[in-house]
Structure 1
Amino acid sequence: MLSTLEQIAARSIHISTKPPPRSLAETKLILAALQKFGEVVTFRNLRYDTTNTSASKNSTTVVIFDSAASATQATESSPLLVALPPQTQTQIQNLNLNLNSSPTHLTCYIAPSHHNHESALKRNPFYTRFELDQSSAIYRDLVENTGIPRPELADVPTARKEFLPMNDRKRAHYSTVRMGGGSLMGLYRDGAARAERRKGGLHGREGEGEEVFEGGNGNEKGKAKKVG
């Protein structure tokens, strides 16, 4: 049986587009063309990937399909031509293009992807441990007025997260998993179970009525201990 990373690799493709898409509308045309082969679960432009040093990084995209068969069909279709709709004179002027040089289609060269998704995930500053901004008005509103089951779910995006070395992230991650917080769904289920027990009057002593989670991969199995 293939590992999770091997399954992702089998469903991934690498796309180099000539000329590069100039707008979100043109990028959406590429996505629409790929969706003819199957459901696209990830569509990521590597333009802003800090490790991408390619001179043509503006034209590079990594795509993950929901099945390996869809990825194979997309690869076999290379080069894939994506027709561009006719542009008005105003659009051409806004893009500083010459009418005669305006492209009529995009050419997508598709190949199997060797992108390291696990490494890219761990480089993300939002990966693993994070600090709650409890001074935020949004945080206070979510906690006080919406009945959110766990305060961690009220964390809001900030302009910049504090960077932590990888060793510190790993230690924090292992500690979080041991405490049953291996995923957001795990935190949600834990908080929802606690709230349900409070409604039923099952307070008990410290440690009783706790939900026990197995693992931290998003497939937690929770079981509440009944307080006698």
Structure 2
Amino acid sequence: MSSCTPYTEDDDRNVGKYSDHVSVWLDSHIGEPENNRELKALFRKITQPLETLTTAEANIDEPIMLDDVVLRSLQETVYRLEIFDKEDTCLEFIHANGDKQIFFISSGSMGREIVPKIADLSQLKSIFIFCGDISHNSVWAMDYQEKIMAMVTHQDDLLLHLTKCIAEYLKNKGDVYMNNDEIFKAKNCFAWSKKLLLRAEQYGHTRLRNELKNIEDKILWAETGQASYCA
């Protein structure tokens, strides 16, 4: 592991700029501020790679000296989950953040209206439909099956799919940094990916042996410089 280095805006260790993703959730009920507060707090916590939730995760993290105030500010402003209850404000946010790669969640009814408007955007990484009737919503969703990663009825399944997709994206970001010899950035992205995979495994009630083995090999690749570990 690398030694601790103070955080500065211009430092190569500015962890707030290592990834360019944001999650967006549109639901007329869940999006209301007073509704489903615990659910939204859980999703924000689990999908936030800057959070460190357990001792095991602390051992995964790359050591970097961040002031608590700075860290909390980063957790609230980058790699975040934005939740909306109205389509127009959701679309406004998406178009105002054209530099962000978006993981998008929607209810079935609102998805039917908004997905045709955003499906072709290059910034849209994945779509997840959280609904009560998959068979009913599958009718309109068939036209967008290349972008819709999952249609689920249970929150644990949604959390599993979303967290795994973000972990995969962070792993790929790490690969790019490794190929550009930006090792510290790569190690952070790989560490975050592993943290998210461990959380997905817990809340998805499933084993992710292959995914975890792959990211552990990449972490070793970053630490040793032996690319063969990443095959």
Identify the TM-score tier after normalising by the shorter chain.
under 0.3
Higher normalized helix content (fraction of residues): 2
Find the structure with the greater CA-based Rg: 1
The alignment's TM-score, normalised by the length of structure 2, stands at: 0.22
Q: Which has the higher contact order (CA 8 A, sep 6+)?
A: 2
